[in-house]
Each structure stands twice: as structure tokens, then as C-alpha cells.
Structure 1
Amino acid sequence: MYAIPLADDAELRPLEPWQAAEFLAHIDRARPNTDPWIPWASRSTDLASARATLQGYADRQATDTGRIYGIWRAGTLVGGVMFVHFDTASGNCEIGVWTEAAGEGRGLISAAVRHLLDYALIERGMHRVEWWTSTRNARSRAVAQRMGMQLDGVLREYFPHNGIRHDKEIWSLLAHEWAKQRAADTSDA
């Protein structure tokens, strides 16, 4: 197994079905941050459903259509990032994130998203990364903005979740835009 350092005490690793108990405990701690926005988190309420969530992503990874990774801080799962969709034929993918309070305010989500952007846009040659978020989710919007994504538009009352129809913002970043940002980051170092 591999781990990518995100900070002195944090790392990014694959999140797999055998980790369902740890994942469920984390999601239970993260519910205030996840339930308003993430349908699979609301459905991951016991060991079987948590394992099913992770198995769904394992199946997507096996077909190269999605992946899920956890963020561990000081040995505890505190959040994660994922390729919700990964379509190599079209060159488009979508990144999603979540965290619990113990993973907030340390730049871990941003660091993990940068790794996924590098993987998708540089290593895999994808053309476009999307970021879908509820217009009510200011923290998610802030991550998209920090990554240099552009707001493509808003789908009004697009998604029903927890009895509320959410407007969905769609943000995107193109490969040439990311390459330009990475080149600027390197020249500033």
C-alpha cells in the first residue's frame, strides 16, 4: 500500500472496503459536515452500508471510472477525496471531498485535491475536472476557488437531498489552466 504525505502528521491513502468499520466511525463523527451535502454519507449508517459505499468505489476503481481516498491525521481517518466520475473516453472527471472537524483548517483537503488534479490532468491526461457543489455549501465553493476553478454555471433546484432541492454549482478546471498554475507554483518556489 502507498501513502502520500499531506503534512507532517497527515497522509492520503486508498480507502477500501476492508476499512468499513473505521470509515463508519469517521462518517459518524463527520455527519454534521457530510449529511447536508453528500448522499452516500447519509446512507452509510451501519457496517453493511458503509462497506457497500466503499465497495462501490472499489468497483469503480476496477473499471477506471472512479476512486476514493482517505485522509489520515495522526493515524485517524478525518476526511477524504474522490473521483466521483472518471471518464477517460471524454477526458472528463469530477472530484468530491468531505471532512470531519478534526480535518478542518489545516489545508489537508486542498493538498489532497492538488494530488488528484495532478493525477487526472497531468498523469492520466484528462482534459477537464469538474467540481459540483450545492450553492449552500460555502466551504466546498472555497476549495474550488482555491484550486483556480471557474464557475461554469448553476443548475437550479437540480438535486433533491434530505428533503431540500439544492441548486448545484458546476466549477471546472482545464488541463492547460492547471499546467499554467503548476508552472507558476514551481517558478515561485
Structure 2
Amino acid sequence: MYAISLGDDGAELCPLEPWQAEEFLAHMDRGREFIGQFINLPDIVTDLESCRAYLQRYADRAAADAGRLYGIRTDGRLVGGVLFRTMDVGQGTAEAGCWLEPSAAGKGLVTRAARVIIDWAVEERGIHRVEWWAASENTASIAVARRLGMTRDGVLRENFLHRGKRHDVEIWSVLAPEWRAARAA
């Protein structure tokens, strides 16, 4: 398996695949409540079978060039991930997302990992627009969007029902010319 270094702190980005379901479940169990504050991933992957199915869905999306899933590791341990939840190469659009277990929060891991995958999407796959959707209360995720140089496009009011509560969802985006200009600066 390949890994891309995310810096001098031992952090790496690597694909997550179905054969890693046990490790993925252990990771999710370590951070289930923290991760589940704003996203439904921990409610979807609750046992080995559902983890394997989730990872297989993304393996299938990768094969169809319609999405990607990557793990963030520190010192070899899975602590989070970034993904392209959707990716439409024909339209040149993708939606990026993330999650972390509590032990990995506040270290810039998501920002560094998202930069890698957005750079790949723009430069290798020709994606023109990358979106970042986040619950308005998810200040950490919104801070990542800002650090990535994204622009807030708007708010979908009470758009997402999660654990019995409706959440406003902010949509942030960066366009390929903006991404390239920021990287060159």
C-alpha cells in the first residue's frame, strides 16, 4: 500500500480499502460519539459487516471514478479520514469531506490531507469546483474550509436531519483557478 506524507510528524494519507474493515471499525469505536456530532458515518458503520460494505462502496466509487476514500494515520494508526463523497469528472465537480477521532483533533491533519486530495482532483482529474459541506455548528470543519481558501457560497437552512435535530448546512467551495493561484502565492 502506498502512503503520502503529511509532514514531519509521522502523519500519512493512504487509501482505505475493504480488507481494512476491522481496523476501520476499531477506529470508529474510538471516536464514535466525537465523530458523530455532525455526520452520520458512525451511525452507518456499526459492525464489521457494515464497515466492510462502506469501504466496498468507496472502492466501487474509486473504480468508477466517482469518489475516493483515504485514511489519515499518525505513527501507523488510523485516526481519521478525508474523502470525495461525490466526484463527477464530466461536470468537473466534487464534494470533499472529513472526520477525525478526538485524539487527532487540532493538529491540522484534515487541512493537510484535504490539500493533498484537492490538489490531486484539480491537477490530475481536472476537477473545476470542489465543495465542502458542513453543519453550521461544526466550527472545526468550517475553519478547515477557510484554511483551504474556500468561499462560503451559502446556507441550506435546516437541510440535514441528524440524530433527531435539523441542522443548517453551509456550502463552501474553491474553483480550480483560485486553487492554483493560492498554491502559486
For this structure pair, what is the TM-score category when the shorter chain's length is used for normalisation? Answer: over 0.9
**CA separation in 1, counterparts of 2:103 and 2:165?**
27
- Residues 46-69 of structure 1 show CA distances to partners (whole Å, capped at 9, x for unaligned) of 111111111111111111100100
What letter is aligned with 2:126? G
What is the identity percentage for the equivalent residue pairs of Structure 1 and Structure 2? 57
**CA separation in 1, counterparts of 2:178 and 2:42?**
32
Using the TM superposition, give the Cα deviation of residue 179 of structure 1 relative to its aligned residue in structure 2, in angstroms. Answer: 0.5
- Match of 2:7? 7
Alignment length, in residue pairs?
184
User: What secondary structure is seen at the aligned counterpart in 1 of 2:152?
Assistant: strand
- Match of 1:71? 72
**CA separation in 1, counterparts of 2:107 and 2:37?**
22
Q: CA RMSD in A?
A: 0.9
- Residues 49-101 of structure 1 show CA distances to partners (whole Å, capped at 9, x for unaligned) of 11111111111111110010001101110011000000011100000000012
Structure 1 residue ranges (4+ consecutive) displaced by more than 4 angstroms after TM superposition: none
- Match of 2:154? 153
- Match of 2:118? 117
TM superposition score normalised by structure 1: 0.94
TM superposition score normalised by structure 2: 0.96
- Residues 98-129 of structure 1 show CA distances to partners (whole Å, capped at 9, x for unaligned) of 00122122221111000011011112111100
Using the TM superposition, give the Cα deviation of residue 136 of structure 1 relative to its aligned residue in structure 2, in angstroms. Answer: 1.1
Using the TM superposition, give the Cα deviation of residue 32 of structure 1 relative to its aligned residue in structure 2, in angstroms. Answer: 2.6
Which runs of 5 or more structure 1 residues have no equivalent in the other structure? 185-189
What letter is aligned with 1:166? H
User: What secondary structure is seen at the aligned counterpart in 1 of 2:6?
Assistant: strand
- Match of 2:54? 53
Using the TM superposition, give the Cα deviation of residue 34 of structure 1 relative to its aligned residue in structure 2, in angstroms. Answer: 1.5
- Residues 22-53 of structure 1 show CA distances to partners (whole Å, capped at 9, x for unaligned) of 00010111113211222232121111111111
- Match of 1:141? 142
